[in-house]
Copies of this chain bind each other. A is one copy, B any other.
Amino acid sequence: MKLFTSVNDVTDINALVADALALKKDPYAHQHLGKNKTLGLVFLNPSLRTRMSTQKAALNLGMNVMVLNIDKEGWALELRDGVVMNGTTVEHIREAAAVMGQYLDIIGIRSFPGLKDREEDYTEAIFNKFVEFCGIPVVSLESATRHPLQSLADIVTITELKTKARPKVVLTWAPHIKPLPQAVPNSFAEWMCRAEVDFTIAHPAGYELCEDFTQGATITHNQDEALKDADFIYVKNWSAYEPYGQMPEVKDEWMLTNDRLKITNDAKVMHCLPVRRDLELSAEVLDGPHSIVVHEASNRVWAAQAVLKRILESL
Q: Which residues of A contact B (CB under 8 A)?
A: 27-28, 36, 38, 40, 46, 48-49, 52-53, 55-56, 59-60, 64, 66, 68, 70, 74-75, 78, 81-86, 89-92, 94-96, 98-100, 102-104, 177, 273-279, 283, 286-287, 293-294, 297-298, 301
Contact = CB atoms under 8 A, between A and B. Distances in A.
Contact of A91 (B38, B85, B98, B275): B275
20 contacts: A27-B36, A36-B59, A46-B75, A48-B68, A48-B75, A52-B66, A52-B99, A52-B104, A78-B277, A81-B283, A84-B277, A85-B277, A86-B279, A90-B276, A91-B275, A92-B275, A94-B286, A95-B273, A95-B293, A102-B294
A53 B103 contact: yes
A99 B68 contact: no
A297 B102 contact: yes
Nearest to A95: B273
Contacts of A66: 52, 55-56
Given A48-B91, A95-B293, A56 B38 contact: yes
Taken together, the copies of this chain in the complex come to 3
Given A85-B278, A91-B274, A99-B273, 7 more contacts: A48-B70, A52-B100, A55-B66, A56-B66, A78-B277, A82-B283, A95-B293
A299 to B, nearest CB: 9
